[in-house]
Structures are given as C-alpha cells and as structure tokens.
Chains A and B, each alone.
Chain A
C-alpha cells in the first residue's frame, strides 16, 4: 500500500481521479475512449505509475458519467443508462445535487466492494491459471473474443465477424516462426498494427464522426442547475436504502466477473432487481433515490471484478479492460498467471491504487460535481476537435511515426461505418489484442501436438480444454437464443401494433 502514497504516485492518482471525473462527465467521452486517449501520456512513466493513472481514470470516468446522466439525461457511458431513469427525474424536481451525491456515495461503496473482490479472487485464480498450457491459453483467447463478440453486439454473427476482423488485423506484419511478412498492403503496416493507435482510432474517431453528424444543432436536453444539498443527508439516505445498495453492489460484482457483459447490463439488471425487491417499487422512474443508488453502485462494483480475468488470464472482462491490457503491453508487462510472480509490485500497487482511487473519487465527486456539471455543457464541436487532436498526437507519440496516425484514422473511419451496420468495436479490439496470444499458443500447441499426441488429441482432450470449449459454445448458443427470442418478441409487438392500427 505504501507505494501508492509516494508523492509521484499519489499525484498521478489524484490527477487520474479528477481528470477521470471530468472526462466521464463529458457526454460522448466513454471510459474506454478516455482511457485509450490517456495511454500516450503514460509512455514517460514507470509501468506502475502509468497503471495508477489509467486505473484511477477508469474508476472515475464510470462514476463521472453519472453527472451528464443526471443533469442532461445523456449517459456519460453506457453504464450510466439506468442512472438517467431516476437521476434525471430527481434533477428535474430540483434534487440534482442530492442525486449526484447519492451516485458518488453509491459508486464508492460498490467500487470498494468490487476492488476487494479483485484483491481476494485474483491471486487464487492466478494460482489456478499457472496450470494452463498452450492449448488452454489458445482456447482462452478464443473464449475472450467470442464472449465479447456475442455479448457486446446486437447480432451474434456480426459480433463474431468483428472478432475475426480483429484476429486477422493481428496477423498483419511479420510472423513469429518464419519471419515472413503477411498482408502488407501499405508500408504503414509493415511492422504490424500497433495496438494503441488502433485502440484510439477504433474508440475515438467513430465518436468524433458521430458528433459531426449532429451538425450545428445544440443538445435538446435541458441543462439543470445544481442547488446546494447537505452531504450528511446524502450519507443518511444512501445507507437507509440498504437493499438497493446491496443488490447493486452484488449484481455489479457478479456481472463484472463475466467477460464481455459490461457496466450497461450491470446497471440495468441492478435497477430492475432493486425495483422488484423494493417496498416502494411504484416510485421507480419518478425520481426515486433507490434507482440511482442501485444503478451507480452496480456500475462501479463492476470495475474491480472486470479486471480479474485480465490480470489472471489475460482476458479483458470489458472493453475498457481491453484498453488497459493495451496499456500493460505497451509497458512490456504481459498480464496472466505470471504477472504476480514477475511483477508483484506493479500488480499490487495497481490494485491498491484502485482501492484508494475509489475513496478519492467519492471525495472529489462530492465536491466538484458543480464543476463537472459545467464540463457537461461543452459543445459537440469543441469536443470533436479536442478528441481528434488528442487522437492524432497520441497515436503519433507511440512510435513517433506517421504510419500509426494513418492506421488510427483508417481504422477509426472504417469502424464508424462498420458501427452503422451493426458491428461493435469491442470484439474487434479483443481480436486484435488476443490475436497474437491465440496465434503464439496455437503454433506452440501445434508443435507439441505434432511431436506427441497429434492435433486432435492435444486441442480436444482434457477436462480444461473441454470446459473452455463448452463455455465458448454455451456463450455463442445463449446469445443466438437471446437474439432469436428478442426478434420474436419484436415481431409479435409489430404484429400487435399493426392489428391495432387496422382496427
């Protein structure tokens, strides 16, 4: 814990927390995009310092997203969608300050629980993961891509296709075995596609273009001024609503552990469950404090557990965790079972900083909510230009190369169009990041298999291989089932609407 409190580390923690709150409060800047844009600023730092900055920013952007959700009815991130339901209504009733205070307090409680889960689960899982061989790591990488591909997308086929595009992008450049160049169609990618410019492009540029499509219009959302509210009363209120706090925290933590599900689902499920268990369920949606507490405790409780599969198995649990993986790799740290053996100080300082970061986020959140509210009013034009500038400078600074800037822009513009046709950036990014892990372990596994039991036996026997294969199949099947069910439901609704229109 002591490492967190050295002047430079604590300073970075403060910077990441305050910066994250401001970035999170800005509509259009998602936590994933904010962390991706921050990575270039960590190049000059030691690995643990860089991770402290990124971890603090991750925690705070998720919580800061509540500011625009409450005051503008624009969720700062998908994780804050459920917060708009009651938070904005509270703000309309003149209880904006109370809603903000409740959201930061609930976020801190959920977040602290999530980080404790991270502390207790990570070493256990890391110990277990030490037994993994190349075939298991190959299936794990495939699992990471398919789970995110199927759960983060509205179409299973398009999610998997995006994962394949990412895996293919990862094969561009030199191969590790023969040193042969593959798929070099432009000199900019002769050394392969660097993960950081790709991340910046895939997450930031589509958002910039989306801001362009809004033209010169202002947001229709009503901006609400925040009146003073005693913090003491918010404390009393948040701990009076124990059921909502408990449901939000537990739901968020469990959902965070499942790779690919993310904060959006955590917030909505927690909101829904709190409503079911509440004695005042009829008040949900009318500006009820339980709605804000459940949603915000859930989306921050998800942050810690979403890093468990990342730190132990190299499988990012969320798109933002995928970006953090990119940050780790750029500092030469390969997460996985060996992380706690090779870099224990880096790993534990990072985890400790997440713990302190939650408390700092709460303190600053409570006191700078008013300032964050002002940031939420920044026009789209300014945001688009700022993000574009940061994306260009950030991509260039990775290797001082214009090629990276071209890659960033090309992937970003391509991703915007892909998103318009139902593709999601998260599986593509996962494919790009996990591709080298999958390929290296596939090749290594093939060599072992050819020299011993053969490919079929090596990759398709053993309980661990089968467990991973079954999880891959189960996640794909479940997503297909959900998609079909949802479509049937929509078709039924359409039929009823048509009948009503005809009658």
Chain B
C-alpha cells in the first residue's frame, strides 16, 4: 500500500472516529436522558468500532478500500461541482426545470466522449437535454402533480 492511500485512510477513519466520539459524548450528556437511552447504546458501539478503525489506519493495517487517486479526483471534480451547485443552489434559485436543463447540459458537455469540435455532437447534446427535461416535466408536473420550485422560464 502506498503512503497516499494510508494517509487518506487515517483522515477518513479519523473523521468517522471524531463523529462517533461526538455522538457518544452528546448521547451521554444531553437531557432529557430518557430520550437518549437508545442513542447511548448504539453510540458506545459506534465510538468503539470507529476508534478501532482509526487505530488500525494509523498502524497501516487497513486492508479494505482503495482511497481516491488524484486522477479520479481531477475527473470527478467538475461533475461534483456542477452536482452540488445544482442541488444546493440552482434547483431552488433558478427553478427545478431551468436548473436541470443547465446541469444536464453541462454534465453532458463535460463527460460525453463525443468530440467538442463538431456541430452535430452539440446538437445531439441539446436534443438529449431537451428530451430529458420534457420527460421530467411530463412525469412530475403533469402525471405525478409534484409542485417543484419554478423561478426562471418555467
């Protein structure tokens, strides 16, 4: 195992251990105590297992999980940024259908292996995006009657 995944394992298991210990601390200190009977039970097991995993990671004995390579990180980063912007900001600010159109088209443009230099492939991307948004509109707005935030355009 190279040093990069090992350090990643330490960071990941350290974070989980921190969450486990925090939950155990909250469970054993918060009031009313009756509300925390079950959380106390599970948080104790959670904290013990999380600390065990953390210690194993520090000792370099973590055998499971490959971590994330720099290459994978670089490839996923733009998609992740678009996804998070879509979910946490655009969906509500621009409206579901507008935001979906933009996010869908951006993701296709970023990850579609077809060449970016041909007009035909751009037309195909626009057609797929329009088709998908129309299907979503038909399904959710018309068929299921789900009211979604609508700000710009529709």
Residues of A within 8 A of B (CB): 40-41, 43-44, 154-155, 157-158, 160-161, 164-165, 167-168, 171, 175, 177-178, 180, 182-183, 205, 208-209, 211-218, 379-382, 384-386, 388-390, 392-393, 396-397, 400, 402, 405-406, 408-409, 413, 417-423, 438-439, 442-443, 446, 487
Contacts and interface: CB of A to CB of B under 8 A. Distances in A.
Given A388-B107, A393-B96, A212 B76 contact: yes
B35 A178 contact: yes
Contact of B75 (A43, A168, A213): A213
A382 B72 CA distance: 19
4 interchain residue pairs of minimum CB distance: A422-B65, A422-B64, A212-B79, A381-B111
Contacts of A205: 83
A407 to B, nearest CB: 10
Given A209-B80, A402-B91, A381 B132 contact: no
Interface string B107-150: 11011110000000000000010001000100110011111110
A440 B140 CA distance: 35
A421 B9 contact: yes
B83 A382 contact: no
A385 B39 contact: no
Contact of A168 (B39, B76, B91, B113): B39
A405 B87 CA distance: 7
Contact of B148 (A168, A171, A396): A396
A385 B12 contact: no
Q: Which of B20, B46, B63, B64 is packed against the most chain A CB atoms within 10 Å?
A: B64
A446 to B, nearest CB: 7
Given A212-B75, A409-B87, A393 B65 contact: no
B120 to A, nearest CB: 15
B152 interface: no
Q: Is the interface of A mostly helix, strand, loop or mixed?
A: helix
B36 interface: yes
Given A168-B42, A178-B35, A389 B100 contact: yes
Contacts of B154: none
B45 interface: yes
Contacts of B92: 402
Given A171-B42, A180-B35, A420-B68, 12 more contacts: A154-B64, A157-B53, A160-B45, A164-B43, A182-B30, A212-B75, A381-B111, A400-B146, A402-B92, A402-B149, A405-B87, A421-B9
Nearest to A177: B34
B29 interface: no
Given A164-B45, A397-B144, A381 B108 contact: yes
Nearest to B16: A161
Contact of A413 (B8, B84, B91, B107): B84
Contact of B67 (A158, A211, A413, A420): A420
B112 A157 contact: no
B91 to A, nearest CB: 6
Contacts of A409: 83-84, 87-88
A413 B113 contact: no
A211 B111 contact: yes
B49 A164 contact: yes
Contacts of B104: 385, 388-389
Nearest to A424: B64
Interface residues of B, number: 68
B41 interface: yes
B133 to A, nearest CB: 8
A269 B32 CA distance: 51
Contact of B79 (A180, A209, A382): A209
B84 A421 contact: no
A218 B114 CA distance: 9
Question: Of residues B43, B45, B144, which shows the largest number of chain A Cβ atoms within 10 Å of its Cβ?
Answer: B144
B99 to A, nearest CB: 9
Contact of B112 (A168, A382, A396, A420): A382
Given A209-B76, A409-B87, A175 B35 contact: yes
A442 B75 CA distance: 46
A216 B112 contact: yes
B140 to A, nearest CB: 5
Contacts of B7: none
A421 B8 contact: yes
Nearest to B87: A409
A161 B75 contact: no
B39 A393 contact: no
Contact of A178 (B34, B67, B136): B34
Nearest to A408: B87
Contacts of A157: 49, 52-53, 56
A487 B49 contact: no
B148 A164 contact: no
Contact of A217 (B30, B64, B113): B113
A400 B65 contact: no
B139 to A, nearest CB: 7
A400 B91 CA distance: 13
Contacts of A215: 75, 111
B4 interface: no
Contacts of A180: 32, 35
A38 B88 CA distance: 23
A424 to B, nearest CB: 10
A388 B83 contact: yes
